[in-house]
Structure 1
Amino acid sequence: MATVKRIKLGSQGLEVSAQGLGCMGMSAFYGPPKPDQDMIALIHHAVNAGVTFLDTSDIYGPHTNEILLGKALKGGTREKVELATKFGVTFVDGKREARGDPAYVRAACEASLKRLDIDCIDLYYQHRIDTRLPIEVTMGELKKLVEEGKIKYIGISEASASTIRRAHAVHPITAVQLEWSLWARDVEEEIIPTCRELGIGIVAYSPLGRGFLSSGSKLMENLSNDDVRKFQPRLQAENLEHNKILFQRVSEMAARKQCTTSQLALAWVHHQGNDVCPIPGTTKIENLNQNVGALSLKLTPEEMAELEAIASADAVKGDRYPSDHMATWTTSDTPPLSSWKAK
């Protein structure tokens, strides 16, 4: 297997594997949880292959994915990995809600440390932005957690350019996590340039379009009833029919390149720059090996242009999330700090 190179993520000193491993699907949202022993074997295989940047969140399960990671990190594995987890999404009366108040930030961090059974989190993200309070208030508490040695680096996920700037002014942001792939390119307009201007690393989640860029519409055939992908607008019948064209064209190009569609889609993300780390998730060792293979796939400027033409603005129909999620997963700005101080 190709060696996985290392990259610097952000400007504060964090170094990670150029490809990470998203761990969500092992425990939550994509059907029933997978057996712990199988997932621990997969994590160990990933780390031995050089994929050492592991991504989880307290909401995956909730909590069970962090507990799984805690088990996987025993026996000397902790020292070999860069561990990212997240806080900020809660369920209130069955509805998702974003929280960023200082007391909650601290309690969430302490709880994650306990579940992961570690002393310090390498990269701690605000998973979704609480738009009820200024971002500076949340960041102030995260800064304290850095000073106390409970977290090393701060990240932010699904935030607007303005929120990223304001957060970064309180304490340097090491990484912004966002959805970026051949079928999610809206971040290229404002968010990516903002990260680059500020020297912030970019972590691309769902770089394979939640599996669509691996298997196309076949993805929908085997999903269990509790798999959230069944309810995602892009994968609904009327949109899926249109979106199949994108997959078909990527497949044809992959055949010419003698690689899989998922490798081609991942290679496109890797070619965006050395400040970008995609974190494809998987529950199968053979898929992990295939994903690592994307690192050695070279694309010419002409091939990149061809892929970008295939994945043009009108190539994909449907929102990234159902409408009620989109309302919670807002990237709108938070109130000004002055309004908070006045209270």
Structure 2
Amino acid sequence: MIMENGKDESNSSAGPITDRRDFMTKTALLGAGLVASSLSWAASSDQSKDSKSKASMSTRKLGNLEVSAIGAGCMSISANYGPPADKGQGIQVIRSAYEKGVTFFDTAEVYGPHTNEELVGEAIAPFRDKVKIATKFGYDIEKGGHNSRPEHIKKVVEASLKRLRTDRIDLYYQHRVDKAVPIEEVAGAVKDLIREGKVLHFGMSEASAKTIRRAHAVQPVSAIQTEYSVMNRDPERNGVLKTCEELGIGFVPWGPVGMGYLTGKIDQRTKLDPKTDFRSEFERFSPANLQANKSFIDLLKKFGDKKNATPAQVAIAWLLAQSPWIVPIPGTRNVNHLTENLGAINVRFTPAELREFNAALSKRKVHGGRMHAKFMQEVETI
């Protein structure tokens, strides 16, 4: 996902990969009829504003993978945050993100399932070589449960490549640690895919510091993805951020605006559909806890007033201020919300302001667990 640095980051010879890339790119463009549409998506009445936003977007590194400082989490367009958005709307949001400087797009085979990878593949086809794609493996979608066996990984990567209309995945995460498969075997399978040029970088999601170290010893890990926000600071306490810093691994916070809560646009009156919105089952999104956690919104608004920024922008800017190797991936299906999120790149904390904010933050208690028991059982904590 993120900026193309002009270098082949795989371990394979350049010739076969380049030929394969050319073939895949042409096939994707012609098959989808996107050669013509690539002209229309760029036409916008707000082009000058988009250009300004793109110019302000800086880059960061996840290990050796260079990406935009703020990425785009694409899941909510297709799944888990209500009914799937219209396909055209989803494509518009992803392409608008690119026009505004985003070059890092995050998806997974399980989102939909499959439909989000298909959406991302179609949306970025006109500029595939200028962005970085992250996707994930680790679930057995047909049978249920986890499956990170090497033979399964090597099977599902082919399906993901096809859905994404590409010949390589820039960052391939293990979605959740599979306790039935030694992490060394998982890392070894991804290492094989890197040798073949099908994957360029290895990532892990919701893994403990101990497991990260074991995997990194077999195949260098470029990025760790875990929920991290002003309302969930577990990575600061469980050794994951410390391990990333020590080993030179980047960190990608999912849920940087508290799964939408830290925007200040959700309160105890908000109705979440239990059939389509997984947040409806989360303790933190009960009406009582939505009200009880309002002090976090008040703090974000207080600092936002000083910075002429929204609560969401302050929440994202706070993450950016933690370390230069942290890349948040806020998600949205709305172009206006996208523009708001990306505006966080221009919000700065001075050292004194960060100390003041953190001191105020430490006095606040979070009410309700971050996910329900079923999902938390998949999170490796030790």
Q: 1:115 to 1:299 in 2, by over 3 A?
A: same
Please tell me whether the aligned partners of residues 99 and 129 of structure 1 are also in contact (alpha carbons under 8 angstroms): no
Which residue, out of 206, 209, 226, partners 2:258?
A: 209
Instruction: Tell me how far apart the structure 1 counterparts of residues 380 and 363 of structure 2 sit (CA, whole Å).
Output: 21
Instruction: Tell me how far apart the structure 2 counterparts of residues 236 and 48 of structure 1 sit (CA, whole Å).
Output: 37
Q: 1:227 to 1:219 in 2, by over 3 A?
A: farther
Q: 1:92 to 1:283 in 2, by over 3 A?
A: same
| Number of residues of Structure 1 aligned to a counterpart in Structure 2 | 327
Instruction: Tell me how far apart the structure 1 counterparts of residues 347 and 268 of structure 2 sit (CA, whole Å).
Output: 24
Residues 1:178 and 2:214 aligned together = no
Q: What one-letter code is carried by the residue in structure 2 that aligns with 1:62?
A: P
**How far apart are 1:91 and its partner, in Å?**
4.8
Which protein has greater RCO, CA pairs closer than 8 Å, 6+ apart? 1
**How far apart are 1:256 and its partner, in Å?**
2.9
Structure 1 length normalisation: TM-score?
A: 0.91
Aligned match of 2:361: 311
Q: What one-letter code is carried by the residue in structure 2 that aligns with 1:263?
A: Q
Cα RMSD (Å): 1.7
Instruction: Tell me how far apart the structure 2 counterparts of residues 314 and 166 of structure 1 sit (CA, whole Å).
Output: 35
Richer in strand (by share): 1
**How far apart are 1:262 and its partner, in Å?**
0.5
Please tell me whether the aligned partners of residues 23 and 54 of structure 1 are also in contact (alpha carbons under 8 angstroms): yes
Summarize deviations over 1:267-326 as a string: whole Å, max 9, x none: 100111210100000111111111111111111222212322333275212211101211
My pick for the range that moved more, 208-217 or 139-148, is: 208-217
Please tell me whether the aligned partners of residues 180 and 204 of structure 1 are also in contact (alpha carbons under 8 angstroms): yes
Which residue, out of 140, 144, 153, partners 1:105?
A: 153
Instruction: Tell me how far apart the structure 2 counterparts of residues 105 and 129 of structure 1 sit (CA, whole Å).
Output: 13
Structure 2 length normalisation: TM-score?
A: 0.82
Aligned match of 2:182: 134
Instruction: Tell me how far apart the structure 1 counterparts of residues 146 and 269 of structure 2 sit (CA, whole Å).
Output: 29
- Once the two structures are superposed, the pairs formed by residues 1-343 of structure 1 within 5 Å of their partners are 1-2=52-53, 3-10=56-63, 13-75=64-126, 77-91=127-141, 97-189=145-237, 190-215=239-264, 217-218=266-267, 221-225=270-274, 226-312=276-362, 315-332=365-382
Summarize deviations over 1:168-194 as a string: whole Å, max 9, x none: 000100111111110010101210010
Q: 1:179 to 1:313 in 2, by over 3 A?
A: farther
Structure 1, unpaired ranges of 5+: 333-343
Q: 1:141 to 1:219 in 2, by over 3 A?
A: farther
**How far apart are 1:32 and its partner, in Å?**
0.6
Aligned match of 1:341: none
Instruction: Tell me how far apart the structure 2 counterparts of residues 168 and 222 of structure 1 sit (CA, whole Å).
Output: 42
Please tell me whether the aligned partners of residues 68 and 102 of structure 2 are also in contact (alpha carbons under 8 angstroms): yes
Q: 1:74 to 1:310 in 2, by over 3 A?
A: same
Q: What one-letter code is carried by the residue in structure 1 that aligns with 2:313?
A: Q
My pick for the range that moved more, 224-233 or 47-56, is: 224-233
Q: What one-letter code is carried by the residue in structure 2 that aligns with 1:19?
A: I
Please tell me whether the aligned partners of residues 98 and 328 of structure 1 are also in contact (alpha carbons under 8 angstroms): no
Q: What one-letter code is carried by the residue in structure 2 that aligns with 1:84?
A: A
Instruction: Tell me how far apart the structure 2 counterparts of residues 228 and 27 of structure 1 sit (CA, whole Å).
Output: 13
Please tell me whether the aligned partners of residues 77 and 84 of structure 2 are also in contact (alpha carbons under 8 angstroms): yes
**How far apart are 1:163 and its partner, in Å?**
0.2
Instruction: Tell me how far apart the structure 1 counterparts of residues 286 and 267 of structure 2 sit (CA, whole Å).
Output: 13
Give the secondary-structure state (helix, strand or coil) at the position aligned to 2:226: strand
> Identity of paired residues, percent?
43
**How far apart are 1:49 and its partner, in Å?**
1.1
Instruction: Tell me how far apart the structure 2 counterparts of residues 230 and 142 of structure 1 sit (CA, whole Å).
Output: 35
Aligned match of 1:338: none
Instruction: Tell me how far apart the structure 2 counterparts of residues 315 and 250 of structure 1 sit (CA, whole Å).
Output: 15
Q: 1:302 to 1:59 in 2, by over 3 A?
A: same
Please tell me whether the aligned partners of residues 250 and 310 of structure 1 are also in contact (alpha carbons under 8 angstroms): no
Instruction: Tell me how far apart the structure 1 counterparts of residues 249 and 125 of structure 2 sit (CA, whole Å).
Output: 31
My pick for the range that moved more, 307-316 or 23-32, is: 307-316
Give the secondary-structure state (helix, strand or coil) at the position aligned to 1:100: coil
Please tell me whether the aligned partners of residues 212 and 219 of structure 1 are also in contact (alpha carbons under 8 angstroms): no
**How far apart are 1:74 and its partner, in Å?**
2.2
Instruction: Tell me how far apart the structure 2 counterparts of residues 143 and 34 of structure 1 sit (CA, whole Å).
Output: 35
Instruction: Tell me how far apart the structure 1 counterparts of residues 75 and 114 of structure 2 sit (CA, whole Å).
Output: 11
